[in-house]
Amino acid sequence: MKKLLAIAALALPTLALANSNCDKPINDFDGLYCLNKVYGEADKELNERYQELVPLLDAPGKAALKRGQIAWMKQRNSQCSRREGNSFFVNLDCATNQTIARAEFLQSRIRECNSSGCLNSKL
């Protein structure tokens, strides 16, 4: 148990350093850590907007939203990732930008639903 605590104590400053170096990452792994944090937050916001929009829609709107979301995920994946043999590469900057754009699209639909009514044709 003491050994585990000692390892954790040594790891905490490293995590804090990685966390504070996102402005100027020291190496590729720090950069990946920072990009992953930003992508995770964008994905969280996207999921929140999606969950906020669903209850505002009628049944055809919900179906259109689901189809649109699946199509968007396929597009994001094809534009921001690739496979090479047994390796899988993801461009997190691309995925983050795509995710932010989709969250903004969903936010626009929420605003539309709350102001003038949901337009299923835009989903």
3-state secondary structure of 1: coil
pLDDT at 100: 98
pLDDT at 122: 94
pLDDT at 23: 87
Residue spans per domain, the chain: 31-122
Cα 36 to the chain's mean position, in Å? 9
pLDDT at 62: 98
Identify the CATH number of the domain defined by range 31-122.
1.20.1270
Per-residue pLDDT of the chain (123 residues; tens, 9 = 90+): 444 333 333 443 444 444 557 888 899 999 999 999 999 999 999 999 999 999 999 999 999 999 999 999 999 999 999 999 999 999 999 999 999 999 999 999 999 999 999 999 999
Q: Return phi, psi of residue 85, to 5°.
A: 60, -125
3-state secondary structure of 29: helix
Question: What do you get for the CA distance between the two ends of the chain, in Å?
Answer: 54
CA distance 16 to 25: 13
Please classify residue 68 by burial: count the beta carbons closer than 10 Å to its beta carbon, then call 0-12 exposed, 13-18 middle and 19+ buried.
Answer: middle
pLDDT at 20: 58
pTM for this structure? 0.79
Is residue 56 a contact partner of residue 113, using CB atoms and an 8 Å limit? yes
pLDDT at 21: 73
Q: In this structure, what is the dihedral angle of CA atoms 100, 104, 107, 111, given to the nearest 10 degrees?
A: 170
